[in-house]
Amino acid sequence: MIITPKTLLQNIPKINPNYAKVLEKLGLLTVEELLLYFPFRYDDFSKTVALDEKYLGQVVTIEGRVAKAKVNRIFRRRLTITEVVIQDKNNLPLKAAWFNQPYLKELMPEGTELRLSGKLEKKGKYFVMTGPAWEKASRDATNTGRLVPVYRETRGLTSKWLRWQIKPLLDQLGHPMSKLMIDPIPRETLEKLNLPPMENALRYIHFPATVNQYLLARKRFAFQEMFLVQLKSLQIKKEWENNNSVRIKFDEDLIKKFVSDLPFKLTNAQRKASFEILKDLEKSRPMNRLLNGDVGSGKTVVAAIAALQAINTGYQAAIMAPTEVLARQHFENFNKLFKNYNLKIALLTNSYKLLGDKGEGRPSLLKMIGSGEIDLLIGTHAIIQKDVKFKNLVLVIIDEQHRFGVAQRALLQQETMDIQDGIKSIPHLLTMTATPIPRTLAIAFSGSLDISILDEMPKDRKKIVTQVIPPENRQSIYNFVRSEISSGRQVFVIFPLIEESKILTEIKAATIEHKKLSDIFPEFSIGLLHGRLPAQGRSASGGKLSKEQVMNDFKSGKYDILVSTSVVEVGIDIPNAAVMIIEDAERFGLSQLHQFRGRVGRGEHQSYCYLFTGSSSETATKRLQSLEETNDGFEIAQKDLELRGPGQFFGTIQSGLPDIAMENLTNVKLIKFSQMEAKDLLAKDPELKKHPATREALLKFSQKIHLE
């Protein structure tokens, strides 16, 4: 049977239907997908030695002949122990034991030559290995005697079975008829960067002869994924730049007056970002800019400057937020910012249909949006419903953009209008995120986006005092909390859903935490927020509160303390909240802790963040102490990236990249090389007609991964 990359695994004779089903659950349907299922680590069994006490305590491989084999049964414990004694080439005995695998005795009859790999120990006169990897010495080294690949396993699928399937497939790589695994990286690029071709790289990644081979293969596949990311980003950018948009002239007098009337002074970062956006709006191609600002860095004012400029030119602007709480907060903030301007601002969510401070019926409001009477529409995803039609939407601002799907964001951009002579235009797009993105990730994923960074805090913003609190100091913090609440302040308590909640439901875990705090602070009113609450509304009986109602009640002062899981909103303003306690802080990433911390310090009062930890680990404590030292979200994000890898940032940037690419996202050099090579290739061959393998790989990549 000639096997090709497209051959279905279910058609390979050695893979029975049961295994094919398990592989399908892992998303592995074809030979190509199986060969791209890479090991996540390797067992180093490459040290093959003769039995000697100097190797005790080391992981080694021993070869020898089976002298005897037996199965011991311990009925009381329902246990079987298979024992095999082998004699090595020096006639020294090694006793190997396996638990609950009685069938092994039949596979290792006396006289069989075996290879065993494991930790060498000694008991009495025998050298001993417990549960070693094994295979017959007559076979090519696959599970012993080498660097042995270990794959992510699932029920019914072992690494050993995967090795047995992958090795013969790799042996077919050179078959001239198989056309196995066409290389998506152009040959000239591989040669320029000294990277191995696909065929060699697959051998190196699955069965490396040396550590260097494995490292070279990982580098090659990391480059391949990043190369495809850059190609796709550049294609998106080019496609975007082929669209038309309305030029919005920068009215310097208007913006200067707005800025001078603000009750605070803009930071240099805000001025720079505003200027970049205003210059983008003057272009005839649509803006596609990400405003990446740390918690409290003042993204709202920058967005307001862009909206004011667009509206003043006679067009409409829209702001989309992920939740009703944040949409309403934007509505209130923009009304305050534009109080001296005769603008009509409306709020549209599933619950609210408001114009100014007066309620308007939905049909009336929709009519006003369609006629252009509404200058600025603020809302949730409700504003992309079919019945919402704008007259001349020219600017779309999306807050916490990662919370919306690509399709949802695209719907707002389908709003088109004629500029002149039948030329269609689409709105300019400004997306915002409060998750500081480390420099390396920004470089990796900014191919299709222009980025403005707010990395400077307003001068009058007080630094949040942050302390790591060991168990013995809890009581003193509780006493401090009492004094703060007595002074009129409010308190957040965040707790992670830890092991107990795997057995308990989230509601029960949250209720237990709420009860614990109620016992500690019986004199105070305590609210509860968790992910199982509905997003908005209230049950007909008035019983079950929604997340939005709980947050509004906390904001209005109904609760002194709010106990919450990690669902507490990014960007929500509770000016009176001055203390944040985070339980089991070591269970969160630094960036997430920094986001939580940003829920306080939003008013005039000095604010505090206390990181409670039960961990005695010096590493965990040291990691948390970095939050004591800095309030700079970008610095913290970079540290988090170095410590934990990029996984936690992926909700904000993109999803689906293989582990091998994710692990290399701190490699700025690799990312820059991939950018240069992608630009160079598209300059020579814009539609990749001369590089069909690259074009096909890019198409597959686009189907599984969505870039911004």
Q: Is-contact 565 506, C-beta < 8 A?
A: yes
Distance CA 135, CA 45 (A): 12
Burial of 341 (0-12, 13-18, 19+ CB in 10 A): middle
Confidence check: pLDDT of 498 > 50:
yes
Overall CATH class of domain 465-630: alpha beta
* pLDDT tens figures, 94-138: 999 999 999 999 999 999 999 999 999 999 888 999 999 999 999
pLDDT number for residue 591: 83
pLDDT number for residue 650: 45
pLDDT number for residue 616: 75
Q: How many CB atoms neighbour CB 374 within 10 A?
A: 25
Q: What are phi and psi of 578, to 5 degrees?
A: -120, -5
In the chain, pLDDT over 70 holds for what percent of residues?
Answer: 86
Confidence check: pLDDT of 487 > 80:
yes
pLDDT number for residue 121: 95
pLDDT number for residue 552: 84
In this prediction, residues 31-39 reach a mean pLDDT of 91
Distance CA 468, CA 117 (A): 45
> Given this chain, do its domains 43-150 and 252-454 carry the same CATH topology?
no
Which of 451-460, 515-524, 547-556, 657-666 comes out lowest in average pLDDT?
657-666
DSSP symbol at 157: B
pLDDT number for residue 605: 87
Distance CA 678, CA 111 (A): 58
pLDDT number for residue 401: 62
The better pLDDT of the pair 656, 142 is held by: 142
> Chain centroid to CA 126: how far?
51
Strand partners, 82: 71, 98
pLDDT number for residue 70: 93
* pLDDT tens figures, 323-358: 888 898 899 999 999 999 999 999 998 776 555 545
CATH number for the region 43-150 comes to: 2.40.50.140
Distance CA 275, CA 560 (A): 41
Q: Residue 239: which of 50, 397, 430, 447 has the closest Cα?
A: 447
pLDDT number for residue 101: 92
pLDDT number for residue 539: 43
Q: What global pTM score does this model have?
A: 0.71
Q: Where are the domains of the chain?
A: 9-40+165-206, 43-150, 252-454, 465-630
* pLDDT tens figures, 379-427: 988 888 878 889 999 999 999 765 655 556 566 666 666 655 667 888 9
pLDDT number for residue 211: 92
In this prediction, residues 489-518 reach a mean pLDDT of 79
pLDDT band at 476 (very low <50, low <70, confident <90, very high): very high
The residue count of the chain comes to: 708
DSSP symbol at 377: E
Which of 164-178, 335-349, 578-592, 611-625 comes out lowest in average pLDDT?
164-178
pLDDT number for residue 541: 39
pLDDT number for residue 450: 83
Distance between terminal CA atoms of the chain?
A: 43
252-454 under CATH 3.40.50.300, yes or no: yes
pLDDT number for residue 357: 46
pLDDT band at 235 (very low <50, low <70, confident <90, very high): confident
The rounded mean pLDDT for the chain is 85
Confidence check: pLDDT of 161 > 90:
yes
> Chain centroid to CA 114: how far?
45
pLDDT band at 15 (very low <50, low <70, confident <90, very high): very high
Most confident segment among 72-81, 254-263, 410-419: 254-263
* pLDDT tens figures, 132-147: 999 999 988 999 999 9
pLDDT number for residue 182: 82
Most confident segment among 271-285, 350-364, 590-604: 271-285
pLDDT number for residue 655: 43
The better pLDDT of the pair 375, 649 is held by: 375
Confidence check: pLDDT of 445 > 70:
no
Q: What are phi and psi of 18, to 5 degrees?
A: -65, -45
Distance CA 142, CA 399 (A): 52
Q: How many CB atoms neighbour CB 389 within 10 A?
A: 12
Distance CA 98, CA 80 (A): 8
